[in-house]
Amino acid sequence: MNALFPTFQNENGIGWTETHDGYWTVVVDGDAVNTRAITKAGSSFIAWIGHQDRHWCFERALKACAANVRLQCAMADEAERAREEAIASLMRMTPEQKARAIDRLEAERDALDYSDAHVDVVARKAIIDTKINRLRQIGSAA
């Protein structure tokens, strides 16, 4: 603990340290990886949560930081669960089902050569190639 800049924590699991005058580092639920910052600007406090979220009191800025960290963590957890479910679903596919899925993706990729100009063909083809490669890797790992 730094004597010049003590760390505080409230009952909601939000901790903060004033690292220098008018600048606080916020830690939520003890997760030092996902920190946010609060700065003082005139009479208001700005919670830096991907954008400037201006508040009239420090407590509201703390709540905004905590809500943002918890939302980001929840979204990351949900994405991980969805990824694991997708992999499990692919692992349950028979080789014939995987071959049909690869054939459908290859046909979609080939059809992009004839698409309208507003479609980002290169990016879309890259996404499809990634999906095909994943299907082939999962098929060969089984």
- pLDDT tens profile 53-112: 999 999 999 999 999 999 999 999 999 999 899 888 888 888 899 899 999 999 998 888
Q: Is 69 exposed, middle or buried (0-12, 13-18, 19+ CB in 10 A)?
A: buried
Map residue 88 onto helix, strand or coil: helix
pLDDT confidence band for 4 (50 / 70 / 90): low
Report the 10 Å Cβ neighbour count for 14.
19
Q: Contact at 8 Å (CB) between 55 and 45?
A: yes
Question: To the nearest whole percent, how much of the chain has pLDDT over 90?
Answer: 39
Distance of alpha carbon 12 from alpha carbon 15, whole angstroms: 9
pLDDT value of residue 2 = 46
pLDDT value of residue 32 = 78
Q: Between 116 and 52, where is the model more confident?
A: 52
| Edge-to-edge strand list for the sheet holding 52-55 | 7-9, 14-20, 23-28, 31-41, 44-48, 52-55
Q: What is the mean pLDDT of the chain?
A: 85
Torsion 84-85-86-87 (CA) sign? positive
